[in-house]
Structure 1
Amino acid sequence: MTNKRFYHIGFGLDDLGSSPPKMALLSGDPQRARSIAQTHLQDVRLLSENRGLNSYMGYLPNDRPILSVTSGMGAPSLSIVVNELLQLGIQQIIRIGTCGSIQPHIPVGSIVISSAALCRQGAANDIAPVEYPAAADPFLTVALVKAARELEFEHYIGITASVDTFYEGQERSDSANPHLMRSLQGITEEYQRLNILNYEMECGTLFKMGGVYKFAAAAVCGVVAQRTVAENIMLAQKDIAIKNAIITAVHVATNFE
């Protein structure tokens, strides 16, 4: 089966060489996956651009092989990509994403490291029951926190709300549908009182997959919106938030044992 190229990610074990990587950096945005590979890895090879799921293999400064892979937007796409990566022998996955802060003390431009997720995602329900904990791997998570401290990046660690939709699910009314269902009206304030830090759309399912499939999953996200102030993304601080999230994850990938 080594010559098998997986249907969605578009590459297989033969494409990874004699010492295949055990870790993948996962980005929703194909441009971010490419930027990570081109900026932070050496001897980079494009593995596939199948379905816009751009995937790259390269080497860290310590010559450790690693993948930079696109998951696509949302948990259903991520679940497919992660499943196929695990069939190739990947054992650790760090999601590098973006998020919106729902706590007033967490500013745009900072990073959030998710210790666990309130998982409101349909894809996750096909993997484990609703009650199954969506918890990040503690060792990878602590490594991310240590890296952020060493790099002196403003960072926060805590629980993330992982939801399936960018607009309704995150209580945005400035959209094509300003009429939110009653069950979603006031949900952000409720989450604030539960000490949830941020909204995003993937890590709850990733964490549940980690528990069920027995791999180490973690997530670091750049804060690109401050939802206690406005619904829109703050483009001026977006680049620094994403850059710091990437550098934190690459630092961990380089030094993680």
Structure 2
Amino acid sequence: MAQYPLFRHPSDNEPEESRGKWKDGPVELKNPHIQKMDEDVLYHLALSNKSHDLKEMFHDVKFVCFGGSPTRMQKFVAFMAKELQFKIPAGMTLQNISHGSDRYVLYKVGPVLSVSHGMGIPSLSIVFHEVLKLLHHAGCTDVKMFRLGTSGGLALDPGTVVISEAAVDGLLRPYMEIATLGMILQHPAFLDKELNEELHAIADDLGFTSVIGKTMCTYDFYEGQARLDGAFCDFNEEDKMSFLKRIHDRGIKNIEMESLCFAAMAYRARVKSAVLCCTIIDRLKGDQITASHETLEEWQERPQKIISRYIQKQLGMIK
């Protein structure tokens, strides 16, 4: 069988001391074709740099918060409106800016964007491309990006917030592979260490249990995460436990489905980013999520509260 050539992204060849060097300033696109286009349609956000004044609408954005569920991100932006003391005119509500599309939601309150990304790497990849282009066309500077979500933990009490120090794939490789023009390109998935440490300290201040560690990102929810309760399963309980214990011994704290893409794309754009996921189950003890709806809601709010406190600090609202 013919082998496709394998390439690493050029940034993966950078010396170790240069990694994690994030760029402040304007959000840049590594695509020269964009500047030659008469119109750049952000199709899945129902926006365009020709039909909308993106600079007027978004120039002040400093923080972009992603989450899987549209409802969760709608609740998050309402929460941020209160936290930032953002006054909504009487009789009005925060509107989904991307209401012309049924793929994602996009809300804005002050310098904060709240974006849903759906489930899994393909869905996140699409909206990440378009949000980056939106930020570029709007002339945004010094932007930070966050993924807020849930995950399965390993030897952690449910409710623990995992702050990802690195994202790896199902083979524990710290890069995302993309098939491009018949080749496999590997994009490293690094996250900002200093930002992680700031968020970890905030979690402690808020009284939340949190850890910094590696996150394994898989391409599906069942077999890729060693679950026994999917429609298909080619392994047994002993195989599953052996695998989970092995990856735990390799520093994996949690498992989810988006961190690898999020980290890789943010690193390519050199935008400072962080991934905070609350664990809702200890996978070493079971596969099915049994916590009550009320408990799950409280756990899911923990990453949001950490990011809210961080944003308030950055804006000088609190010390």
**Structure 2 SS opposite 1:228:** coil
Distance 2:40 2:264 in 1: 27
Count matched residues: 247
Q: Which one-letter code corresponds to 1:94 in the other structure?
A: F
Q: Which amino acid in structure 1 is aligned with residue 296 of structure 2?
A: K
Structure 2 counterpart SS, 1:219: strand
User: How big is the shift at 1:78?
Assistant: 0.7
Q: Cα distance, 1:38 vs. partner?
A: 1.5
- Structure 2 unaligned spans of 5+: 1-36, 89-93
Gap change, CA 1:108 and 1:102, over 3 Å in 2:
same
- The aligned residue for residue 177 of structure 1 is 232
For the pair 1:198 / 2:254, whether they are aligned, the reply is yes
Confirm or deny: 8 A CA contact 1:2 1:12 kept in the other structure: no
Structure 1 regions of 5+ residues with no counterpart?
Answer: 60-64
Superposition pairs of residues 25-104 of structure 1, within 5 angstroms: 25-41=65-81, 42=86, 43=88, 44-49=94-99, 50-59=101-110, 65-89=111-135, 91-103=143-155
2: CA distance, partners of 1:167 / 1:158: 22
- Deviation digits for residues 55-78 of structure 1 (CA, Å, limit 9, x no counterpart): 10112xxxxx11000011011111
Q: AA paired with 1:83?
A: H
Normalised by the size of structure 2, how large is the TM-score? 0.70
- Residue matched to 2:244: 188
1:145-184 CA deviation, whole Å, 9 max, x = no partner? 1211121111111111111111011000112113249xx8
**Aligned equivalent of 2:47:** 11
C-alpha RMSD over aligned residues: 2.6
- 1:134 is the counterpart of 2:192: no
Alignment of 1:217-236 (within 5 A): 217-236=273-292
Q: Percent identity?
A: 26
Q: How big is each residue's C-alpha offset from its partner over 1:92-118, in whole Å with a ceiling of 9 and x where there is no partner?
A: 210000000112xx1112211111111
Structure 1 outlier segments of 4+, above 4 Å: 1-5, 127-130
Q: 1:45 to 1:19 in 2, by over 3 A?
A: farther
Equivalent position SS for 2:78: helix
Q: CA deviation at 1:39?
A: 2.0
Q: 8-17 or 231-240: which moved more?
A: 8-17
Indicate the SS of the match to 2:233.
Answer: coil
Residues 216, 190 of structure 1: alpha-carbon distance in 2 compared, 3 angstrom cutoff: same
Hey, what does 2:34 align to over in structure 1?
A: none
Following the alignment from structure 2 to structure 1, what is the Cα–Cα distance between the partners of residues 58 and 146?
23
Equivalent residue for 2:265? 209
Q: Tell me, in whole angstroms, the C-alpha distance in 2 between the residues paired with 1:203 and 1:12.
A: 27
Shift of 1:30: 0.8
Does the Cα contact within 8 Å between 2:44 and 2:103 map onto a contact in 1? no
Specify whether residues 136 and 230 from structure 1 end up closer, same or farther in structure 2 by C-alpha distance, changes over 3 A only.
Answer: same
> Which deviations, in whole Å up to 9, do the C-alpha atoms of 1:25-81 show, x marking residues without a partner?
00011111101011222343321142331110112xxxxx11000011011111111
Hey, what does 1:243 align to over in structure 2?
Answer: 301
Cα contact 2:66–2:147 (8 A) shared by 1: yes
SS in 1 for 2:44: coil
* Change in CA separation of 1:4 and 1:58 when aligned onto 2, cut-off 3 Å: farther
Q: Tell me how far 1:12 sits from its aligned partner.
A: 4.5
Amino acid at match of 2:133: Q
Partner amino acid, structure 1, of 2:131 = L
What SS does the aligned partner of 1:8 have?
Answer: helix
